[in-house]
Amino acid sequence: MPVRIAAYVLIRALAGIGMALAVVASVIILVDFVELSRNLSGHGNIAFPQLLELSILKSPSVVLLLLPFIFLFGVMGAFVSLNRRNELVAMRAAGVSAWRFTLPAAAAALVIGLANLTLLHPAAAALNGSFEDLRANLTDSPLHRNSGDTWLRQGMDGGQMVIHGRRRERSNGAIRLTGVSIFIQNLESNGVLRFDRRIDAQEAVLQPGFWRLVGVREVSPGSESVRAESLSLPSPLDRRSAMEKFTPPGAVASWDLPATIRSADLAGYSSSIYRLRLQQLLAMPLLLAGMTLLAAAFSLRLPRLGDLPVLGGAGVALGFTVFFLNQFCGALGATGTIPIIMAAWAPPLLALLSGVTILCYTEDG
């Protein structure tokens, strides 16, 4: 019987989370639609279906950012509903401890947090990339037009490449540079970069995994120049990160974060924001479990004792505090003020320990 009770409460909690997810997602899509309509109002070729598609592509990344709130509101609503119908009273009168029907919900939060790391976040990042591409195509952004000089820097094993050229129209989804000069530097054993050679090319096209150069002239110190019709140079950049130096952390899938960190380190960029994002994704299961326990702990008070709305409001306030503490610690970690591990893991651990402490006090006195 306790197993069936725990399963029943778990199903109700998941239903509450689903309802909260539907409400939050609907609000986000509506807000994004209004915002996109306002920002893109100057482009007369954008119709309602395209705006709706843009809103749907953009919203998943925002929904995942608010996932702790979804769990807080969904679980709290489910437990308050069970409490108001005296179902929790009957369960506890039958000798079922609160731990028996709250821990399955916390375990489900852990599983969903792992799914966020492995499936949901990569999917949201892919949709966010599609959103950026579609918006660029619809608005004829500068990525598609001729522009001025472009400087890029990419890392490679044992050194880096500095690339200068003039950006032209994209061809078949590839970045095209003309009048290209590439300066290749090798990293010596003492950590100093030493100039190795220079490559000039009439044209460079960024393709998956490499630059394809046409009309090449290569010069090394102390040697004569060498000409070639074409040359390929390996590159970790993609067409979006090449023009934006590196993509924002939210647009990088969790599986790609280690490679992005390595590429940023090789190129001499700071990788702290990517390291922080990776640690935050790893800590997300604990944060969701902590929010679940907090929601349950503030919803178990007997209705006849009163103050249930007050406790519910206190639970929401504490959830907001944990969320903003998580954002604040993330900002401090990104700037190096506090260690990245502390910035990513301290708020989830605080939420989890707070939920366990309050639940212990409520259940065991």
Mean pLDDT across 243-251: 55
DSSP E strands, the chain: 149-156, 159-167, 175-187, 193-207, 210-219, 226-234
pTM: predicted TM-score of the whole model, two decimal places: 0.73
- What is the rounded CA–CA span in Å between residue 88 and residue 98? 9
The amino acid at residue 113 is G
Q: Does the pLDDT of residue 172 top 60, yes or no?
A: no
Residue 262 in domain: no
Q: What is the mean pLDDT of the chain?
A: 80
Mean pLDDT across 99-104: 82
Q: Which residue has the higher pLDDT, 328 or 84?
A: 328
Q: Say what the pLDDT of residue 268 is.
A: 59
Q: Are residues 345 and 238 in the same domain?
A: no
The structure tokens listed for 321 are: 């505090």
Q: Are residues 99 and 14 in the same domain?
A: yes
Q: Say what the pLDDT of residue 171 is.
A: 47
Dihedral sign of CA atoms 85, 91, 97, 101 in order = negative
Last residue within a domain, chosen from 247, 264, 293: 247
Q: Are residues 184 and 229 in the same domain?
A: yes
Q: Say what the pLDDT of residue 358 is.
A: 83
Domain span including residue 156: 149-247
Residue 100 in domain: yes
Write a three-state SS string for 43-105: CCCCCHHHHHHHHHHHHHHHHHHCHHHHHHHHHHHHHHHHHHCCHHHHHHHCCCCHHHHHHHH
Residue 166 in domain: yes
- What is the rounded CA–CA span in Å between residue 311 and residue 295? 10
Which residues 6+ apart lie within 8 Å of 2 measured at CB?
Answer: 96, 100
Q: Are residues 90 and 155 in the same domain?
A: no
Q: Does the pLDDT of residue 51 top 80, yes or no?
A: yes
Q: Does the pLDDT of residue 247 top 80, yes or no?
A: no
Q: Are residues 242 and 299 in the same domain?
A: no
Where residue 20 falls among pLDDT bands split at 50, 70, 90?
very high
pLDDT digits (tens, 9 = 90+) for 255-279: 888 877 776 666 556 678 888 889 9
Q: Does the pLDDT of residue 339 top 80, yes or no?
A: yes
Q: Say what the pLDDT of residue 250 is.
A: 65
Q: Are residues 289 and 235 in the same domain?
A: no
Residue 211 in domain: yes
- What is the rounded CA–CA span in Å between residue 272 and residue 276? 6
Q: Does the pLDDT of residue 219 top 60, yes or no?
A: yes
Q: Which residue has the higher pLDDT, 260 or 185?
A: 185
Mean pLDDT across 244-250: 54
- What is the rounded CA–CA span in Å between residue 277 and residue 284? 10
Q: Which residue has the higher pLDDT, 172 or 161?
A: 161
Q: Are residues 230 and 155 in the same domain?
A: yes
Q: Does the pLDDT of residue 2 top 80, yes or no?
A: no
Q: Is 233 helix (H, G, I), strand (E, B) or coil?
A: strand
Q: Are residues 31 and 124 in the same domain?
A: yes
| Residue 179, domain CATH | 2.60.450
Q: Are residues 131 and 8 in the same domain?
A: yes
Q: Is 160 helix (H, G, I), strand (E, B) or coil?
A: strand
Residue 252 in domain: no
Residue 258 in domain: no
- What is the rounded CA–CA span in Å between residue 67 and residue 21? 8
pLDDT digits (tens, 9 = 90+) for 275-315: 888 999 999 999 999 999 888 888 776 555 556 677 777 77
Residue 255 in domain: no
244 half-sphere exposure, CB direction, 13 A CA radius? 14
Domain count, the chain: 2
Residue 260 in domain: no
- What is the rounded CA–CA span in Å between residue 146 and residue 14? 51
Q: Are residues 13 and 119 in the same domain?
A: yes
Helices 272-297 + 340-364 axis angle, to 10: 10
CB 217 within 8 A of CB 225: yes
Q: Are residues 99 and 206 in the same domain?
A: no
Q: Does the pLDDT of residue 193 top 70, yes or no?
A: yes
Q: Are residues 81 and 229 in the same domain?
A: no
pLDDT digits (tens, 9 = 90+) for 103-157: 888 999 999 999 999 999 889 888 887 887 777 677 655 444 444 567 777 777 6
